[in-house]
Structure 1
């Protein structure tokens, strides 16, 4: 075989096939489902603590958990689960699929070319911005459903479809994308996630851990890193998204929302404990599932 034909064959092998794309999508779906099952109860507690404002509805994480279960039942922890059940499957497939594409772009089409930690971070940031277009309406509806208290008679929304319908009726279709800029700012920290994931993976491989263990531990540690850095933006995002859907709005602009959240540094980390507790097992399992699917499918 001539050198040109060898180069052509190598290029074909390095270019993602249709099977690669389908595999990325399936792995993303599996990752999203595992993340929802494990992490949604923690997410509900996080959002409730983040959005309670200064009223002091809950004394802390334990009080929020006990009060929610006692007054609304254990399944209240899965309030708002339907949007992410559907959305996270696509969100993870889009995020992880775009991550692969951004990595390939930085590799100049050669999948065998190693990337630096900085390049992994750039790819992660790009993937975060890309998935924000899908994530914003999903997270908007999810958050509004999560902060509904009391029985069915007092709730503003009967479910995700009713919530979407009312948001569109009151604000137009673009009302579903309220908080897009904040979502993009929040998800830009996926650069920190995937950059630190690569760093942790290198160190764990150097220590002799096998592949699945590296994926699990590095995924959990990267998630801890991500939430520690990104959490203040998440607090502002959820407070902005869940403000009453009335006119004039509670917050005329994002800066007004930031000023309301601010109670010293502590105000920007309201609800951090459930997010931090959730982040390791949820993302460790999600990354492990994704990478296992990518290897075995």
Structure 2
């Protein structure tokens, strides 16, 4: 009898204890601002420079020269650059991106991370929608444009120096910046003379990050190894981004690579006039000069950068 009554007493006591001390509600992880996106962005930007700058040099030179320029195509541009300037020629103008891309990716990915968290609301366990990722990408693109404009202007100025006396105007990016500051009526503000074109180009970041989310979902659903998903999704998203934004990049680089500072008498003073000049000279093909070089570059460059970003982001998420 005592054996039968013991479990009954235990059950009663348990229910009583549960009633008096209910299980506490789990505390949600804070979804406030974070620094880990900024830190991971530095590593991402450095990866882009090492992997992608030689491709970028070929792309920019083809864009600036146009169809009637000194290069027949990307292979010809690569061969002539290596023959005349060596491997260093492919990394010409790399100093601004070395610092700039690390800074740019830090600001871009840090802003992106915090905008994502803001759009998620109070509960970080709720996945952000694809339109949410696209909106965060748009915001990050606008913010980083203010850093990218001077960095890319100096890079473009150095990249169109072909190792001969006729095209060599500056001994270094610093010398270039000093020249622009002295020549522009507003001093250093001249480094932001192509900001509108930079904003136009980087506004397409909505497509980059929106498509990255879609590709990640699809690759995961297909059973792709999770270690490869960031690389493949990043490469595919970059290809999608460049397919839409490339004409804007051509316009931006034409404005940046011309003699500085940009004034009313410049060949490419505004976005609209630059587009008209390109069309008048080269037709629609002029807006896609160097396109395939860019597509070949963008997949491994952005794929590698996103592997680094995702790897570090997961490890630093709860630290910073």
Into which bin does the TM-score normalised by the smaller protein fall? over 0.9
TM-score by length of 2: 0.86
Correspondence list, 1:168-247, <5 A: 168-171=181-184, 172-245=187-260
Where does residue 157 of structure 2 map in the other structure? 144
- Bigger radius of gyration among the two: 2
Of Structure 1 and Structure 2, which has the larger fraction of its residues in helix? 1
The answer to whether the Cα contact below 8 Å between 1:15 and 1:110 also exists between their aligned partners in 2 is yes
Q: Cα–Cα, structure 1 residues 167 and 210, in superposed 2: closer, same or farther, change >3 Å?
A: same
Distance 1:238 1:154 in 2: 17
Deviation at 1:296, TM superposition (A): 2.6
Q: Cα–Cα, structure 1 residues 2 and 183, in superposed 2: closer, same or farther, change >3 Å?
A: farther
Q: Does 2:289 align with 1:289?
A: no
Q: C-alpha root-mean-square deviation of aligned residues, in Å?
A: 2.0
Structure 2, unaligned runs of 5 or more: 1-19
Deviation at 1:66, TM superposition (A): 0.6
Distance 1:154 1:265 in 2: 27
Pick the aligned partner of 2:124 from 111, 117, 121: 111
Structure 1, unaligned runs of 5 or more: none
Where does residue 15 of structure 2 map in the other structure? none
TM-score by length of 1: 0.92
Deviation at 1:204, TM superposition (A): 0.7
Distance 1:113 1:14 in 2: 13
State the aligned residue count. 290
* 1:59-107 per-position Cα deviation (integer Å, ceiling 9, x unaligned): 1111100111111112100000000100111111110110011111211
Correspondence list, 1:55-204, <5 A: 55-151=68-164, 155-171=168-184, 172-204=187-219
Distance 2:86 2:188 in 1: 33
Distance 1:35 1:117 in 2: 25
Deviation at 1:155, TM superposition (A): 1.4
The answer to whether the Cα contact below 8 Å between 1:71 and 1:150 also exists between their aligned partners in 2 is yes
The answer to whether the Cα contact below 8 Å between 1:212 and 1:292 also exists between their aligned partners in 2 is no
Deviation at 1:54, TM superposition (A): 5.2
Q: Cα–Cα, structure 1 residues 76 and 2, in superposed 2: closer, same or farther, change >3 Å?
A: farther
The answer to whether the Cα contact below 8 Å between 1:244 and 1:250 also exists between their aligned partners in 2 is no
